[in-house]
């Protein structure tokens, strides 16, 4: 988000899932919050793949800041399946089916 290379929908999607994740952590007895967080994480995996593949710049226009920004976006995308697994385990611990 720091280089404005990806559109605002990328930032809004990830920050809204972050807000739902904070809500899921604060309300320890709510299955709805953790399920919404898991669904949001799975949706952002798909939208992140689409955003990165569409808005990836050509090699000629790749500055260091853009390279770092896209690297962090890819790193975030790679960590999301691990986050989904951990959130699913939290869901099972809270009594989900």
Q: What is the mean pLDDT of residues 9-37?
A: 92
Provide the token pair at 33: 């919050």
User: Which pTM does this prediction carry?
Assistant: 0.85
Q: pLDDT band at residue 89, thresholds of 50, 70 and 90? A: very high
Helix H or strand E segment including 93: helix 64-93
* 29 within 8 A of 92, measured Cβ to Cβ: no
pLDDT digits (tens, 9 = 90+) for 37-67: 999 999 999 999 999 999 887 777 778 888 8
Specify the pLDDT at position 30: 86
CB-side exposure of 35: number of CA atoms within 13 Å? Answer: 8
């Amino acid at each position: 988000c720091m280089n404005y290379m990806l559109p605002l929908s990328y930032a809004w999607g990830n920050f809204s899932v972050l807000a739902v994740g904070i809500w899921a952590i604060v309300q320890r007895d709510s299955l709805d919050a953790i399920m919404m967080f898991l669904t949001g994480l799975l949706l952002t995996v798909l939208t992140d793949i689409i955003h990165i593949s569409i808005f990836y710049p050509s090699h000629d226009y790749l500055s260091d800041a853009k390279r770092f920004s896209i690297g962090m976006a890819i790193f975030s995308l790679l960590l999301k399946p691990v986050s989904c697994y951990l959130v699913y385990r939290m869901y099972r611990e809270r009594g989900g089916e």
